[in-house]
Amino acid sequence: MSTFQAPKGTYDLTPPRSATFLAVREAISAPLRDSGYGYIETPGFENVELFARGVGESTDIVTKEMYTLTTKGGDQLALRPEGTASVLRAALEGNLHKAGNLPVKLWYSGSYYRYERPQAGRYRHFSQVGAEAIGTEDPVLDAELIILADQAYRSLGLRQFRILLNSLGDKECRPAYREALQTFLRDLDLDEETRRRIEINPLRVLDDKRADVQKQLTGAPKLRDHLCDACKTYHEEVRALLTAAGVAFEDDEKLVRGLDYYTRTTFEFVHHGLGSQSAVGGGGRYDGLSEMIGGPALPSVGWALGVDRTVLALEAEGVELDLPAPTSVYAVPLGEEARRVLFGVVTELRRAGVAADFAFGGRGLKGAMKSANRSGARYTLVAGERDLAEGVVQLKDMESGEQSAVPLAEAVAELTKRLG
Ligand code: AMP
């Protein structure tokens, strides 16, 4: 019988690389946790309708990429393709916005699913860490989120990323722009599908990656020229706050992003080491989303950073994270009695907060010492019958190679002292 493989477009996270993923999640969430964002967790699936309305019926995510299923009870569900619609749904359902403390600031971390054509950096199952600030319209909030993402990437040691920034306007000015753009686009030589897109979501045509389409787009009306005064002022304020914080960004009027709900501020973090899938994260303001999914008006802003692509970006830049060895002490028993005694020491060490591991399976000294080496432990404890008869264990410093006998009763205290 052949063995099973991970489904197409997915991969497993296994040690030691998985430790980098955990460290990336930790690094992205740390600035959020220090800035008043509370942790939220929502189900891995939602009613399909939430995404159809929340993400947008015309987006690739909804039309092509959702994993949908009908339950035995007849419910139409979808594996979540992104986080914002779910988090807003949960905030509304839990009345978090009525607790009198706006904005509601939340962060999340989890698995997302899109039925995409797999390639380097693009998977059908991927991880994001995200943040949402719900219920407040304030350019400081937009700036805060961009600054925190920048801080997260920098704390990881990433340097070769850029921040692209744009404003998509709001319900006052975007409709007129949309119409002007449609008029321009209808005269172009475009395929059927793109023509349909002109009618449903013309801004997304600007995002078309094909060179022949891009060529025709020279001279397209620019959103910048259509922004209303309120949007212009708002955007200038966001830009000024970023500049004051020393966060470099580039204005990119072509940045529209693949989701329908964005208004005003939109941004993307791109990394040049990633080839065609260069976006490591992105987000923006979504002032109309709450109403689109049946809630009250709650202007909000948020982002999601891709964990998989952040790890790829670290690898592309050659950044090695300074991860502590998972094991500090490794115990090597020689004989039955030593097994019981050293396992007792290991248990005590663990209870004292020292990361400790054990040579299981009664292997010989040579094999067990190899495992001790591989574990990265700073110290090894070795004990045989003669040591126990003398009431000692051998404590070996794996860095200096020095070895000394330590009274068994003092082993835990000695190790906790040495490990600081
Ligand atoms: P989006 O929700 O499309 O703006 O995606 C936000 C971030 O999630 C992107 O910048 C990527 O880092 C990550 N991401 C989105 N889709 C995928 C995918 N199919 N595979 C890996 N990462 C993804």
Greatest mean pLDDT among 40-49, 62-71, 362-371: 40-49
Residue 368 maps to a domain: yes
Do 126 and 55 share a structural domain? yes
What's the mean per-residue pLDDT of the chain? 94
Q: Note the pLDDT tens digit of each residue in 146-170.
A: 999 999 999 999 999 999 999 999 9
Do 372 and 273 share a structural domain? no
H or E stretch including 285?
strand 279-285
- Ligand 1: residues with CB < 6 A are 82, 114, 116, 122-123, 126, 128, 258, 279-282, 304, 306, 308-309
Q: Note the pLDDT tens digit of each residue in 328-361.
A: 999 999 999 999 999 999 999 999 999 999 999 9
Do 134 and 47 share a structural domain? yes
Do 233 and 132 share a structural domain? yes
Do 100 and 24 share a structural domain? yes
Closest CA to 80 of 108, 58, 106, 104: 108
Question: 363 pLDDT exceeds 90?
Answer: no
Do 46 and 146 share a structural domain? yes
- The residue whose CA has the least distance to atom 2 of ligand 1 is 82
Residue 242 maps to a domain: yes
CATH number at residue 390: 3.40.50.800
Do 286 and 159 share a structural domain? yes
CATH number at residue 299: 3.30.930.10
Q: CA–CA separation, 387 vs 405, rounded Å? A: 8
Question: 276 pLDDT exceeds 90?
Answer: no
Residue 140 maps to a domain: yes
Closest CA to 411 of 355, 335, 331: 331
Q: Note the pLDDT tens digit of each residue in 211-252.
A: 999 999 999 998 889 999 999 999 999 999 999 999 999 999
Do 161 and 249 share a structural domain? yes
- The residue whose CA has the least distance to atom 9 of ligand 1 is 281
Q: Note the pLDDT tens digit of each residue in 5-60.
A: 999 999 999 999 999 999 999 999 999 999 999 999 999 999 999 999 888 777 78
Count of domains observed in the chain: 2
Range of the domain at 376: 329-418
260 pLDDT band (50/70/90 cuts)? Answer: low
Q: CA–CA separation, 91 vs 247, rounded Å? A: 30
Domain boundary among 289, 317, 345: 317
Residue 89 maps to a domain: yes
Closest CA to 291 of 47, 88, 40, 60: 88
Task: Specify the higher pLDDT residue, 204 or 341.
Answer: 341
The SS3 assignment for 22 reads helix
Q: What confidence score (pLDDT) does residue 258 get? A: 60
Q: What confidence score (pLDDT) does residue 1 get? A: 62
Domain boundary among 317, 350, 370: 317
Which residue of 67, 122, 124, 146 sits with most ligand 1 atoms within 8 Å of its CB, as the best mutation to test the pocket? 122
**Percent of the chain, pLDDT > 90?**
84
Residue 246 maps to a domain: yes
Q: Long-range contacts: 404-411, Cβ < 8 Å, 24+?
A: 408/341, 408/345, 408/383, 411/345, 411/381
Q: What confidence score (pLDDT) does residue 330 get? A: 98
259 pLDDT band (50/70/90 cuts)? Answer: low
Q: What are phi and psi of 15, to 5 degrees?
A: -65, 145
Ligand 1 atom nearest 81 alpha carbon: 2
Ligand 1 centroid – CA 307 distance (Å): 9
Question: 2 pLDDT exceeds 80?
Answer: no
Calculate mean pLDDT across residues 81-94.
97
Ligand 1 centroid – CA 306 distance (Å): 5
Rounded-to-5 percentages of helix, strand, coil across the chain: 40, 20, 35
Adjacent-strand bridge partners of 79: 45
Domain boundary among 283, 317, 351: 317
Residue 370 maps to a domain: yes
Do 393 and 259 share a structural domain? no
Ligand 1 atom nearest 127 alpha carbon: 22
Do 168 and 87 share a structural domain? yes
Q: CA–CA separation, 308 vs 294, rounded Å? A: 33
Question: 119 pLDDT exceeds 80?
Answer: yes
Tally Cβ neighbours within 10 Å of residue 31: 21
Question: 386 pLDDT exceeds 90?
Answer: yes
Do 254 and 401 share a structural domain? no
Residue 113 maps to a domain: yes
Ligand 1 centroid – CA 122 distance (Å): 8
Residue 124 maps to a domain: yes
Which residue type is seen at 409? A
Do 142 and 262 share a structural domain? yes
